[in-house]
């Protein structure tokens, strides 16, 4: 069972990495935020899978902390964008 969970964790990690590549050729800041959101959720999944697979110390709290703070990057981003009056559709990668 533990090796199955680890393989799953590696697969989710790989999908995170591919999702990050999205930022590389993205033209919009919104895409970057989406990728960050994907990494947030994927990271929580990876953490839970690895914690159960390797039977490390209880990591439910770490996952809770990540879930609680996952949205804040986007909130700060959108708030900052509004503050400067610029739009998220502007090129992120000039």
Partner 1 sequence: MSGLLHAFTILAVSAGVVFFIAGTVGLVRFPDVPTRLHALTKADNVGLGLVVLGLLPYTGGLLGALKLVSVWLLTLLSGAIVTQLIARAVR
Partner 2 sequence: MALVFDIGIVSLLIAIGAWMIMARDTLVAVIIFVVYGLLMSIAWVRLSAVDVALTEAAIGSGITGMLLLSAAARLRQTEGAGARPSFPVCVAAGSLCALISAGLAGVVLLPADVAPTLAPLAVANLADTGLENPVAGVLFAYRALDTLLEKVVLLLALLGVWSLGSDRAWGGAPALGAYVPPNDILVFFAQVLPPIGIVFAAYMTWTGASHPGGAFQGGTVLAVMWLLVMMAGVARAPPISSTKVRWLLVAGPALFLAVGFLGFVIAAGFLAYPVDYAKALIVLIEIALALSIGVTLALLAAGPPERTLQP
Give the whole-angstrom CA distance, residue 63 versus residue 16: 17
CA distance 89 to 94: 12
Torsion angle, CA of 32/34/39/44, rounded to 10 degrees?
A: 150
* Helices and strands counted in the chain (H then E): 4, 0
The yes or no reply on residue 78 touching partner 1 (CB under 8 A) is yes
Whole-angstrom distance, CA of residue 45 vs CA of residue 61: 13
List interacting residues with partner 2 (CB under 8 A).
2-3, 6-7, 9-10, 13-14, 16-17, 20, 23, 29, 32-33, 35-36, 39-40, 43, 46-47, 50-51, 53-54, 56-59, 61-62, 64-66, 68-69, 71-73, 75-84, 86, 92-94
List interacting residues with partner 1 (CB under 8 A).
1, 4-5, 8, 11-12, 15-16, 18-19, 21-22, 28, 30-31, 33-35, 37-38, 41-42, 44-45, 48-49, 52, 58, 60-61, 63-64, 67-68, 70-71, 74-75, 78, 81, 87-89
């Amino acid at each position: 069972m533990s090796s199955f969970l680890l393989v799953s964790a590696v697969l989710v990690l790989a999908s995170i990495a591919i999702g990050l590549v999205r930022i590389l050729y993205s033209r919009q800041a919104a895409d970057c935020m989406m990728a960050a959101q994907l990494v947030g959720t994927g990271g929580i999944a990876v953490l839970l899978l690895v914690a159960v697979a390797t039977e490390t110390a209880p990591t439910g709290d770490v996952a809770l902390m990540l879930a609680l703070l996952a949205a804040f990057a986007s909130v700060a981003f959108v708030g900052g964008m509004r503050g400067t009056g610029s739009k998220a559709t502007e090129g992120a990668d000039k």
